Amino acid sequence: MAISLIKGQKIDLYKLDQGLKSIAMCLSLNTPANDFLGAVLLTDISGRVRNTRDFLYYDNLSNSDQSVFFTSENNRRVNVHLDKVSPLVQKIILGLAAKKTSNKIPSLTFKLCNLENGKDIAYFSISEESGDTALVIAELYRHNESWKLSAIGSGFAGGFEALCASYGVEIKNSIFSSKKEELAILKHLARIDTFINNRQKNEYEKSQMSMGIVDTSIFGR
């Protein structure tokens, strides 16, 4: 029978099932799924995400060794192969954030289940009270030779960016820091393209001339 958890409660997964290898973390929201973004952050002993592949969201559904990955399009289910997670990963954090700051985190239910037999292990619910735009729902973390689950349910303002920043991930709205930088990069790329085209044209002309052919109309002459 699944254990009903409350905020702040922790359970030792291996004490419940010593042979546990693979689990799924699932979310059920009382609102349209497209209004919110799910995220999983794999952190090291310092509490920070080591690299971009350890930050899972809609555009990066799996970490590098595929031990942790989203299985649904709306990022509501995460599979974790506990026995394959890198020893450098100390915590696996499941979070949720509103796409717009005008949207607040709704009531939701978190469920943890055993992937091998399909049985539910634990669950807990979070009510819509705080008005926060981001939420850390739960953490899986190493403890001695075991994995534990902590029901966090801790919210804060700032949405997706704030959620990620708290674990060392910086989210930028654009790959360019400014319009000026964007224009400079585009001009640089245009110069490279012109250089390559001219070099190809010269090489083509030389090869044609060596064969007694002088028509180079394919380059726009």
3-state secondary structure of 200: helix
- Could you tell me if 163 and 39 are in contact, meaning their C-beta atoms sit under 8 angstroms apart? yes
Mean pLDDT of 204-212: 58
What is the rounded CA–CA span in Å between residue 68 and residue 62?
Answer: 6
pLDDT digit string, tens, across residues 104-141: 888 899 999 999 999 999 999 988 656 788 889 999 99
- Could you tell me if 142 and 90 are in contact, meaning their C-beta atoms sit under 8 angstroms apart? yes
Top-confidence residue, 101 or 125: 125
Locate the domains of the chain by residue range. 3-165, 179-219
pLDDT bracket for residue 216 (50, 70, 90): very low
What is the rounded CA–CA span in Å between residue 70 and residue 16?
Answer: 24
Top-confidence residue, 212 or 32: 32
CATH code of the domain made up of 3-165: 2.60.60.30
What pTM was computed for the model? 0.74
pLDDT digit string, tens, across residues 11-57: 999 999 989 999 999 998 877 667 788 899 999 999 999 998 999 98
3-state secondary structure of 176: coil
The secondary structure of 145-164, three-state, reads CEEEEEEEEEEECCHHHHHH
pLDDT digit string, tens, across residues 168-192: 887 765 333 334 444 444 444 455 4
Query: For residue 77, what is the enclosing H or E element?
Result: strand 77-81
Task: Give the number of C-alpha atoms closer than 13 A to the C-alpha of residue 218, restricted to the C-beta side.
Answer: 9
pLDDT bracket for residue 218 (50, 70, 90): very low
What is the rounded CA–CA span in Å between residue 17 and residue 116?
Answer: 12
Residue-level pLDDT at 208: 55
* Mean pLDDT, the chain, integer: 80
pLDDT digit string, tens, across residues 144-154: 999 999 999 98
Which residue matches tokens 């002088």?
Answer: 214
Q: What percentage of the chain carries pLDDT values higher than 70?
A: 74
Residue-level pLDDT at 5: 96
Residue-level pLDDT at 219: 38
Residue-level pLDDT at 165: 86
Q: Order of strands across the sheet with 68-70?
A: 3-4, 120-126, 108-114, 22-29, 77-81, 68-70
